[in-house]
Chains A and B, each alone.
Chain A
Amino acid sequence: MTVPLTLLGLLEREPSHGYDLKRDYDTFFGRGKPLPYGQVYSTLSRLARDGKVVVGDVAPGAGPDRKRYVITDVGATEVEHWLTEPVEPEPHLQTLLFTKVVLALMLDRPAEEYLDTQRAAHLRRMRELTEIKRSGELVDVMLADHGLYHLEADLRWIETTGARLDALRKAVRP
Chain B
Amino acid sequence: MSPMIEARDVTYAFGETPALRGASLAVGAGEVVAVMGPSGSGKSTLLHCLAGILRPDSGEVRFDGARIDTLGEADRSALRRDSFGFVFQFGQLVPELTAAENVALPLLLRGVRRTPALRAARGWFERLGLAGMEHRRSGELSGGQAQRVALARGLVAEPRVLFADEPTGALDSLTGEEVMTLLVDAAREKGTTVVLVTHEARIAAYADREVMVRDGRVNAPAGVAS
Contacts and interface: CB of A to CB of B under 8 A. Distances in A.
Nearest to B200: A152
A102 B207 CA distance: 32
A103 interface: no
A152 B219 contact: no
B25 to A, nearest CB: 16
By secondary structure, the A interface counts as helix
A151 B201 contact: yes
A155 B181 CA distance: 22
A76 B200 CA distance: 37
Given A159-B38, A163-B38, A152 B212 contact: no
Interface in A121-174: 122-123, 126-127, 129-130, 133-134, 148-149, 151-152, 155, 159, 163
A120 to B, nearest CB: 8
Nearest to A127: B205
Contacts of A119: 212
Contact of B205 (A116, A120, A130, A163): A130
Interface residues of B, number: 13
Contacts of B202: 126, 130, 148-149, 152
B90 interface: no
Interface string B203-224: 0111100101000000100000
A116 B219 contact: yes
B12 to A, nearest CB: 23
B201 A126 contact: yes
- Residue from A123, A148, A152 with most neighbouring chain B CB atoms (10 Å): A123
A129 B207 CA distance: 12
Given A152-B202, A155-B201, A123 B210 contact: yes
Interface residues of A, number: 18
A149 B207 CA distance: 17
Contacts of B201: 122-123, 126, 151-152, 155
Contacts of A122: 201
For B181, B205, B212, the residue with the greatest tally of chain A CB atoms inside 10 Å of its CB is B205
B38 A116 contact: no
Nearest to B204: A123
Given A126-B205, A133-B177, 20 more contacts: A116-B212, A116-B219, A120-B210, A123-B201, A123-B205, A123-B210, A126-B202, A126-B204, A127-B207, A129-B205, A130-B205, A130-B206, A134-B181, A134-B184, A148-B202, A148-B205, A149-B202, A151-B201, A159-B38, A163-B38
22 contacts: A116-B212, A119-B212, A120-B210, A122-B201, A123-B201, A123-B204, A123-B205, A127-B205, A127-B207, A129-B205, A130-B202, A130-B205, A133-B177, A134-B184, A148-B205, A149-B202, A151-B201, A152-B201, A152-B202, A155-B201, A159-B38, A163-B38
